[in-house]
């Protein structure tokens, strides 16, 4: 009211401010009707203009002003936003294209040329690859070589029967790979896309805590970090082999990144970064295989799952010699509650002549071997073990 009063006083004494007076009264007409009425009585010449100004609300004027201001600024913001989206649209496809190229290069590396391909009922493609072309022979120490002949079996472990040829889904049709070849489950783009990265595909992930690898020794009874397991083991002597009979089930896992397995585990070294392992059994792993079938698998590492090792034949490591068993293929039949039971028998032993670790399925069917040069502790004649299962 002080400001309005001051304006009115200037209007009374200075005719040049009369127009400003009308504008001020226009702005105040809705707020101070008493003052406006008093002024209209004193200034008859401007009385007709007051209602015209009072008809237009100052709120509308302010709204129009800000609408104009926003309209002026908005195209700039929109332009910047469009340019930002444009940058993303041009950048993202390039990144995806690069990933796709890397995936296809990796597939070309591990999917070898085949002489024959067999379609499995579960959707797998089984390629019959010449044995000397399998991924293991990409290793510098195996270049140009061929798989070794079978070694002498351990004493008192002569085979009494042969393993069933139809324990895997792909072989139910009666088809098999020719002699001189081995069956390899073909890896697809989808298999790699399910992995956390191309580098981690086909590898076990070492447990991390707070974003860092655990440096403390691995506890054999640990159930922390979401990893729950029950083990039996023997230790305290020199072990050159082990045998296990494993009941096959198809346990349900909660999501793609969970897995369940039952295995035999030959280890050597401390439970730190120098841990050597040889592993074989069955596993359910939707991330690795894309389904919930139990599958026959192998694994190895020489540095506690950090940089070395892989599942099955997904890197240079395990050398397969058998043409009837596909490592990584689904097992059938499976055990059921209050129903039939199905077991697989596995034997792992160290060849005393060459030091390689051989894997036998059933009773008498050799699957292949882990070359001794892959390992540090498991290569030497010192203490091996313990044996876990």
* pLDDT tens by residue, 48-93: 444 444 444 555 554 444 444 444 434 433 343 444 444 444 557 8
* Dihedral sign for Cα atoms in the order 292, 294, 299, 303: positive
pLDDT digits (tens, 9 = 90+) for 210-244: 344 443 334 444 444 667 777 877 777 788 889 99
Percent of the chain with pLDDT over 70: 66
> Which among 336, 320, 325 has a CA at the least distance from the CA of 370?
320
**Which residues on adjacent β-strands are paired with residue 245?**
345
Q: What are 210's two structure tokens?
A: 């707070």
Length of the chain: 389
Structure-token pair, residue 342: 């199905």
Q: What is the pLDDT of residue 372?
A: 96
- pLDDT of the residue at 270: 81
Per-residue model confidence as pLDDT tens digits over 94-144: 888 999 999 999 999 999 999 999 999 999 999 999 999 999 999 999 999
Contacts of residue 106, Cβ cutoff 8 Å, sequence gap at least 6: 192, 198, 201
Banded pLDDT at 205 (limits 50, 70, 90): confident
Specify the range with the lowest mean pLDDT, choosing from 14-28, 139-153, 264-278, 285-299. Answer: 14-28
Compute CA distances 343 → 183, 329, 358, 361, whole Å. 22, 16, 20, 11
């Amino acid at each position: 009211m002080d400001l309005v009063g001051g304006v009115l006083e200037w209007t009374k004494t200075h005719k040049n401010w009369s127009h400003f007076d009308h504008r001020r009264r226009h702005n105040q007409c809705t707020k101070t009707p008493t003052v406006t009425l008093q002024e209209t009585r004193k200034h008859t010449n401007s009385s007709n203009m007051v209602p015209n100004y009072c008809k237009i609300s100052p709120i509308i004027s302010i709204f129009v002003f800000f609408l104009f201001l926003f309209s002026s600024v908005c195209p700039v913001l929109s332009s910047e936003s469009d340019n930002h989206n444009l940058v993303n649209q041009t950048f993202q496809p390039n990144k995806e294209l690069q990933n796709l190229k890397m995936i296809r290069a990796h597939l070309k590396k591990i999917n070898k040329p085949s002489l024959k391909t067999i379609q499995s009922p579960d959707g797998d493609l089984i390629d019959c690859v010449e044995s000397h072309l399998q991924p293991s022979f990409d290793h510098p120490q195996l270049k140009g070589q061929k798989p070794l002949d079978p070694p002498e079996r351990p004493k008192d472990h002569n085979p009494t029967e042969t393993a069933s040829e139809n324990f895997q889904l792909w072989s139910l049709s009666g088809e098999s790979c020719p002699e001189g070849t081995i069956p390899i489950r073909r890896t697809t783009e989808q298999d790699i896309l399910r992995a956390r990265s191309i580098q981690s595909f086909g590898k076990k992930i070492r447990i991390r805590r707070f974003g860092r690898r655990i440096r403390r020794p691995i506890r054999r009874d640990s159930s922390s970090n979401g990893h729950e397991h029950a083990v039996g083991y023997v230790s305290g002597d020199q072990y050159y082999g082990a045998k296990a009979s494993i009941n096959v089930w198809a346990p349900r896992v909660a999501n793609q990144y969970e897995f369940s397995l039952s295995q035999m585990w030959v280890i050597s070294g401390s439970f730190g970064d120098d841990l050597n392992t040889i592993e074989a059994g069955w596993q359910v792993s939707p991330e690795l295989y894309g389904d919930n079938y139990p599958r026959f698998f192998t694994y190895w590492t020489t540095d506690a799952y950090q940089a070395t090792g892989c599942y099955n034949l997904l890197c240079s490591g395990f050398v397969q010699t058998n043409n009837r068993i596909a490592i990584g293929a689904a097992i059938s039949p499976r055990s059921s509650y209050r129903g039939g039971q199905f077991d697989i028998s596995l034997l792992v032993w160290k060849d005393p002549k060459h030091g390689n670790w051989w894997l036998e399925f059933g009773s008498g069917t050799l699957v292949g071997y882990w070359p001794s040069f892959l390992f540090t502790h498991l290569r030497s004649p010192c203490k091996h073990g313990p044996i876990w299962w």
